[in-house]
Amino acid sequence: MIEIFLLRHAETIWDSSLVSGRTENLSLSDEGIVHSLSIGRILREQGFLVDKIYCSSSLRTKQSLLGLKESGLWKDTPIIYSDSLQEVSQGEWEGKERRCVMTERVIAEMRIKGVCFMPPGGEAQKDAAERIYNYIAENILNSNLQKVMVVGHANLFRCLMYRILGFHEIMINKIGFDNLSLTKLRFGEDGFWRLDYLNRIVS
């Protein structure tokens, strides 16, 4: 049995009126930095340890993980940074105002195509789901690890949940992943996935 914990990055300085996406150099807000230190202290006091950490190569996930480690958590835990864990790409839309790109025509097309919809120069949710699933299968499921942490992004985690739990695609954007929330998955020797909890606030 392998336990996999998903941790979304801390709060960023991003303007929510703009389309986000990968935006690799997006940094944490002051509140996000303080929050990551606080969560790190709580997890340390709870004795929360993992065998290995896999982290998106984006700045905001690196900063979140640094805040956790600065609290004294996971000092000697191996960390792997990977582009394969970056957020779902929104292509040419990234950084543009939502109201300008989310026209009635675009929204109608998104409803028709669902997870196969792809922004100009971007990535479909279905493709992102395969990307993160294949990475986890290759690097985690085929290892001797028992307990790992994946530090990443909300939309990518939603895609992963869609891929492994098999729910209808209409639900993919209805799943919440708050900043620095924990989600726990287990993969058994029987080849089945189990969801223990979703979007749990650390306290």
pLDDT value of position 134: 98
Tell me how far CA of residue 48 lies from CA of 5, 60, 68, 115, in angstroms: 11, 22, 12, 35
CB-based burial label for 16 (10 Å; 0-12, 13-18, 19+): exposed
The domain tally of the chain equals: 1
Which parts are annotated binding residues?
A: 60
Q: Provide the domain limits for residue 47.
A: 2-200
Q: pTM for this one?
A: 0.94
pLDDT value of position 72: 85
CB-based burial label for 93 (10 Å; 0-12, 13-18, 19+): buried
CA distance 164 to 116: 17
Q: What is the CATH number of the domain that holds 186?
A: 3.40.50.1240
Which parts are annotated binding residues for substrate?
A: 60
How confident is the chain (203 residues) per 10-residue block, as mean pLDDT?
Answer: 96 83 86 95 94 97 94 90 96 88 91 93 96 97 94 97 92 93 95 96 88
Q: Which residues are catalytic?
A: 9, 87
